[in-house]
A and B are shown apart, each in its own frame.
Chain A
């Protein structure tokens, strides 16, 4: 067997998978996006740009998503970085595995069940009741953008923690010793050695969380009480409620285009940020 044939054979399953599961559905979505809604809902073939012209009707959904996805990603990063740092650098190795498992444990239960738990935690009988017992007023938490952000950070935190943890864990401690020997105080060693070396993890984590957040619909629906509307929610409604598949397809195409643009811009930005180092790039 020639090496070339071997490579081809090894790549064949992935190629077939991508063609069947990514390219084909995408082609269907693009074709549908130029169609028209059938009288009773669904799809009728046509060639019209009307669905794209109507995209403004879902502007609020795009706006909410484009605001909450970056904010959610940033919050995840701010909480995950110190946690990952502690786990990788500071935690006693004999507890490390246990602590890592504790980060994953929530994943063992469906996000749906955990969101229901949050509904009760943030509802009138949960945290707000505790706060009012302490005499600090009775805040409204459930069904607000704050509740959605809480749910997002809670749900996606492990996806941010692990890539950062891996990059910090691989960090060569001798580099920090060298930095100290050369007279750097710890904060400076962190900024000039640790942080740049952990950038691949940060970039990967942010990318993972951001991409998934752009398509999120469950958390806004459950913790936002149906009042905080993401593109994901608009898509669910267009396909399952109003059954305007062509318009839904156009919204999906627009979302894909927005993702391509933001993710490309983001990758260029992180590459420059990390001083043109190649290992920061993901793909």
Chain B
């Protein structure tokens, strides 16, 4: 699966340890080949009295703080980054864009890099919470190799504030072994109708207003992004009607789907892929009416404490070889043609990662207004507390 050649295996480590003990290699060789040298440097730098010049070669400091999403990085890539630069990656995981925005609005987040979704970037710019990027410090970002559909939202009024990480869709995952006499659902209408019939008590929706309200709006064929009062009232009626039939309102749906407690859930591309990889009976479906198409970005918040490390991390992760490993690990595609060139054909032909054009065309990018619209937020609260 994931290529971890750049790391020393357990067997190799022991062999090197024996060589070092026997005196056939130097301590310097041992520390270098096992990566312990870099690890010691990081550990040492955590203790102020032991700070050494071991990492001074890269000069970016000893750590970088990343705010991102669950199941969204290959830990081996972070280890490689630390080994190369001496900066340890301190990862914070979030459940919604709202939560990320709330932390940055409150101030003092301490983040160096964060991963906002397309529709939030204009708000961050408006609130002066995001740093314009100095692309000279991200040489691995080659704008020309990116699909503009997914890279575009990172640029606001001609200034690049964010560079693309991955893109994906929001569909639903269904355990086809539990369908019984039902045909495999292909629409959001079927998703909500089955929830209130044979799948009662077995469906999960996100604890996230954008996707849960958005896909309730799709039941009626409205826009995923609607803030129209009448359309939202319809969506609320559907949500309240479906609530007693829901297994849970949670964005952490993989455990329940895997254990068989839940049979159907709103799902993002990578979660759908990860479940399908282990349990082929769980299939990922894009509702025919549409739904969400999204693109996530790497960005730097205003006042990032380790600015150099932030640029170094983004540049490292956008290295096509590293990015391809990320993609293989988490199952989300990138918009970078250089990365696609490194991926095996079975990944590029995977309908979960790269859906058919007609399904893709029906999808909408989330709209900035949904992030701040008070009515959608209150609707979600009424739905959850009902």
A and B bound? yes
The answer for the CA separation of A23 and B140 in the assembled complex, in Å, is 51
Q: Is the CB of A226 within 8 A of B98?
A: no
Task: Specify which chain B residues have a CB less than 8 angstroms from the CB of A123 in the assembled complex.
Answer: 256, 259, 261
A203 within 8 Å of B (CB atoms): no
Q: Is the CB of A41 within 8 A of B372?
A: yes
8 Å CB contacts to A: which residues of B97-131? 98-99, 101-103, 105, 123, 126-127
Q: Which of B101, B246, B378 contacts A243 (CB 8 A)?
A: B101
Per DSSP, chain B at the interface is helix
Q: A123-B261, A242-B378, A243-B101 are in contact. Are A60 and B249 (CB under 8 A)?
A: no
Task: Specify which chain A residues have a CB less than 8 angstroms from the CB of B301 in the assembled complex.
Answer: none
Q: Is the CB of A229 within 8 A of B385?
A: yes
* Most chain B Cβ neighbours within 10 Å, of A57, A119, A120, A143: A143
Q: How many residues of B contact A (CB 8 A)?
A: 36
A230 to B: closest C-beta gap in Å = 9
Q: A123-B261, A125-B260 are in contact. Are A226 and B248 (CB under 8 A)?
A: yes
Q: Is the CB of A226 within 8 A of B384?
A: yes
Task: Specify which chain A residues have a CB less than 8 angstroms from the CB of B374 in the assembled complex.
Answer: 37, 242, 244
8 Å CB contacts to B: which residues of A120-141? 120, 123-125, 140
Q: Is the CB of B385 within 8 A of A234?
A: yes
B303 to A: closest C-beta gap in Å = 17
Task: Specify which chain B residues have a CB less than 8 angstroms from the CB of A61 in the assembled complex.
Answer: 385
A42 within 8 Å of B (CB atoms): yes
A241 within 8 Å of B (CB atoms): yes
Task: Specify which chain B residues have a CB less than 8 angstroms from the CB of A57 in the assembled complex.
Answer: 378, 381-382
Q: Which of B247, B371, B372 contacts A225 (CB 8 A)?
A: B247
List, sorted by A's number, 27 A–B pairs whose CB atoms are closer than 8 Å.
A39-B372, A40-B126, A41-B101, A57-B378, A57-B381, A60-B386, A120-B259, A123-B256, A123-B259, A123-B261, A125-B259, A125-B260, A143-B247, A226-B249, A226-B250, A226-B384, A227-B384, A233-B385, A239-B102, A240-B96, A240-B98, A240-B102, A241-B98, A241-B209, A242-B378, A243-B98, A244-B374
- Contacts A40-B371, A42-B105, A124-B260 known; 15 new A-B pairs at CB < 8 A: A40-B123, A41-B101, A57-B382, A64-B385, A119-B255, A123-B259, A225-B247, A225-B250, A226-B207, A226-B249, A227-B248, A233-B385, A240-B99, A241-B99, A242-B378
> What 5 A-B pairs are tightest by C-beta distance, nearest first?
A225-B248, A242-B377, A226-B249, A229-B385, A60-B385
